Chain A
Amino acid sequence: MNTTGKTCQQNLIGEMGKRWVFLFLLLEFAYFSISASGYFSFDTVQMILFYGTEIFLLASAELFVIITGGIDLSVGYVLGFATVISSKLMVVFASLGISPIGCILISIVITLVIGLIPGFVNGVLVAKLRIPPFIATFSMLGITQGISELLMQGIPAKNLPILAGSIGNGYLLYIVPGQALSFFHRPDVPRGVRVYEIIPNVVVFAFLFIAVFAFILKRMRFGQHLYAIGGNIDAAARAGINVRKNLVAVYMLSSFFASLAGIIYVMKYITGKADAGAGFLLDAIAAVVIGGASMFGGSGTVWRTILGCFVIAVLETGLRMMGTPTFDKYILVGVILIFTVLIECFFSNFKK
């Protein structure tokens, strides 16, 4: 009886170890629901998702690289680079007289293709020339920032197609209770009538991509190879995995996600600028770490990274709605990061 009690306890602690981020998130949400007026609502959840989109994408980008034991510091400025390219392209195409939807689609495709270049260079530097990822991607941070500033010449793109803003700030579904229900288009109602807006477009867009890559990471051979490379790069090579090719691919994937985040930024804020993503990088890395991925590689999942993003976003929105100054957030994120690592250590020791 004594032994079964012990295994029960062990199981419980084991489960806690796996799920503490989630528990922490629930606690956080509960706390703010009680102490911040207006927090406990569907709108807040949507707001967290809407303003978190860039972080969700950048954190996923960062996760792939971190699984292989690397790091990508350039994602923030690749995001900025993508905002500049796509906004400039939209303006150019619009001036050529192409229809707004055409402008937007062509610009997105071109931006996503160009957005692969920084990642390709990063990958080649890391995989072929053996430059440490920290240095390679740090250099790319400077290079992409410089190129974006050159392209901008200090002037953010203006007069983008209005459609871009309506897509970026639009919702899938609008409901006016008892009166109207429409998809994608906000019904015209008198001011003051409450319109329920359900699920922002950009969130759907972002999570489609994240879901696809979560599947690839978990179920496809490419994903398994990344874990193998991060676990032990020599063993992976000996097992016949093409390490170089996979590394180049993973840095390109990271850039791709950053460009996607850049496009979303343009659709949301209908402007593009070099330093658009500067503030997002540290939040993205923090989210990956809080989500339990090891900075040494070999572990981490997309879902837990998303939970990590939520921990930060829920905290940020909550503090704002309570009216707490910004700087408290930085301190709290720092403290949570340290605790994450300590807790991970505690539970991994316990398992032994």
Chain B
Amino acid sequence: MKKTIVILLAGLFTLGIGTLPIASGESKASADGKITLLFMPGVADPFYTTMEKGVRAKAAELGVDVIVAEYPKSWGPEAQVPILEATAARMKFDAILIAPTSNDALIAPLKKLYNKGMEIITVDTFLGDGDYSKKSTYSFPLTYIGSDNELGGKLMAEKLAAMVGEKGKVFCEATNPDASSVADRVKGFKAGIAEFPEMELVGVEWCQDVQQVAQEQTLAALQKNKDIVGIFGTNVYSAQGSYQAVVNAGLTGAIKICSWDATQELIGALKKGQVDLVLAQKPAEIGALGVEWAVKFLKDKSVNVPKKIIPGFEFFTKENVNDPAMEQYIYK
């Protein structure tokens, strides 16, 4: 009984002392008037670390501060949202650059931060359907900056078709249908393949961003359909896992592989002939554009920010992989 009372009192005490600085808690923001941005990556992978480099470089160039939140160890709102809230509570940021890990679940927490006066820019992935130009519950972000994933998926389908002579079975290894970017790549790829009557997409698997799972799923697909002629890996881990599965099955060369995301591993595999085509997004450019537009808007609120900003892609093939001009598009 005594113990319960002690705990209750202490709980009240904790709450009590907690309430005191309620008003002063967030007033520390940029006392010197310097703009401070928060970069919240989606998951720990080379795509986002490359984006961070772009963010940092641009921030240094423009003379603004940037704080990078902890990288979530897995892809999902339960990993990302607590980190976002804890980091955003450190101070009143002027703007947040975030890759939302779910286009539904991140609306509420981001809206809350938006209401506190922070500007939101979504990078790589988006909220809702990504169209912030018409008014909706998720149209509050300043802009979405990321690749045109549907177009990319379609281009991959066309290039893969050309490699396999426009006929045969193909397979797609993806990560998570809750990631808007990847879902669009798959959509574009499906549409692209559908344009070739002699081609068939035999399956789409979701590896939840775990490379080993991607490898197992691809291997299973290869066993089920022994006549697969092409594979599309839709992001870092699904691409790395799926090409590894083909290498392990000893089918290098027999199956054409198109990989999305130019990690050093995939570029290395391309050089060895284990991968046939690598699409490089421009994560550093996405990050830099995010900082650039945020700062432009914060300095002059009347600036008209486009609701969608789309940097292009680069394609690595065996022919251009050693070209020094392409070097800059490899994720580092």
| Residues of A in contact with B (beta carbons under 8 Å apart) | 18-19, 22, 26, 29, 36-45, 47, 51, 54, 154-156, 158, 160, 162, 165-166, 169, 191-192, 194-196, 265, 268-271, 273, 275-276, 278-279, 303, 307, 316-317, 320-321, 323-326
Contact = CB atoms under 8 A, between A and B. Distances in A.
Contacts of B86: 47, 317, 320-321
Interface string B51-70: 00000000000000001011
B328 interface: no
Give me the 8 closest cross-chain CB pairs, A-B, nearest first.
A154-B206, A320-B86, A41-B25, A269-B105, A169-B108, A51-B82, A192-B117, A269-B77
Interface in B114-170: 114-117, 137
Contact of B85 (A47, A154, A279): A47
Contacts of A162: 137
A140 B7 CA distance: 36
B28 A279 contact: no
22 contacts: A22-B6, A38-B28, A39-B89, A41-B18, A42-B19, A43-B25, A44-B89, A47-B86, A154-B177, A154-B206, A165-B107, A191-B114, A192-B116, A195-B115, A271-B105, A275-B74, A275-B76, A275-B208, A303-B7, A317-B86, A320-B69, A320-B82
B328 to A, nearest CB: 28
A195 B112 CA distance: 10
B7 A271 contact: no
Contact of B71 (A29, A323, A326): A326
Interface string B160-192: 000000000000000011100000000000000
A273 B74 CA distance: 13
Interface in B21-76: 21-22, 25-26, 28, 67, 69-71, 73-74, 76
B104 A169 contact: no
Contacts of B199: none
Contacts of B85: 47, 51
Contact of B74 (A39, A279, A323): A279
B53 to A, nearest CB: 17
A166 B14 CA distance: 28
Given A41-B25, A273-B178, A321-B86, A158 B15 contact: no
Contact of B21 (A40, A47, A317): A40
Contacts of B321: none
Nearest to A30: B17
Given A38-B28, A154-B206, A191-B115, A273 B76 contact: yes
Nearest to A169: B108
A66 B28 CA distance: 45
B212 to A, nearest CB: 14
B235 to A, nearest CB: 15
Nearest to B178: A156
A37 B28 contact: yes
B198 interface: no
A191 B107 CA distance: 16
Contacts of A316: 82
B91 A279 contact: no
Contacts of B114: 191
B265 interface: no
B89 A43 contact: yes
Contacts of A191: 114-115, 117
A320 B74 CA distance: 16
Contacts of A40: 17-18, 21, 25
A323 B105 CA distance: 24
Contacts of A194: 116
Contact of B104 (A154, A270, A279): A270
B102 interface: yes
Contact of B78 (A45, A154, A279, A320): A279
Given A39-B89, A155-B177, A317-B82, 11 more contacts: A40-B21, A42-B22, A43-B89, A44-B18, A47-B89, A192-B115, A194-B116, A195-B115, A269-B104, A320-B87, A323-B70
Contacts of B115: 191-192, 195
B3 interface: yes
B247 interface: no
B4 interface: yes
B10 A26 contact: yes
Contacts of A42: 15, 18-19, 22
Contacts of B83: 320
